[in-house]
Amino acid sequence: EQEEIRLFLAAIYRLQMSMVGRIDDTSKALCENLTPNNQHSEFSLLFRLCWSKNVHEERDAPQQILLGAQHPAYCVLIALP
């Protein structure tokens, strides 16, 4: 059980740092906001963060590219469920 919590927290912090987002926005991440990147499907995904309190229109919350890293301790793609 402790290992599951440790892995979850490591994944959420990697996602937060990669997206340069606030922890409350990244903790509300949904799997449906994670989509394949058709241009570079081998090493990247597209992700849209939940709307924060400062976002008023959908265009202010665009999809962002998640890139993998060559080191497993930093790779956000490895940490995703």
- For residue 58, what pLDDT is reported? 63
- For residue 35, what pLDDT is reported? 92
Q: Give, in order, the Cα–Cα distances in Å from 67 to each of 2, 6, 9, 30, 58.
A: 28, 22, 19, 18, 23
For residue 71, give both structure tokens. 């080191």
- For residue 15, what pLDDT is reported? 85
pLDDT-flagged residues of the chain (< 70): 51-60, 81
Give the pTM.
0.72
Q: How far apart are CA 30 and CA 49, in angstroms?
A: 8
Residue 63 — φ and ψ, nearest 5°? -70, 145
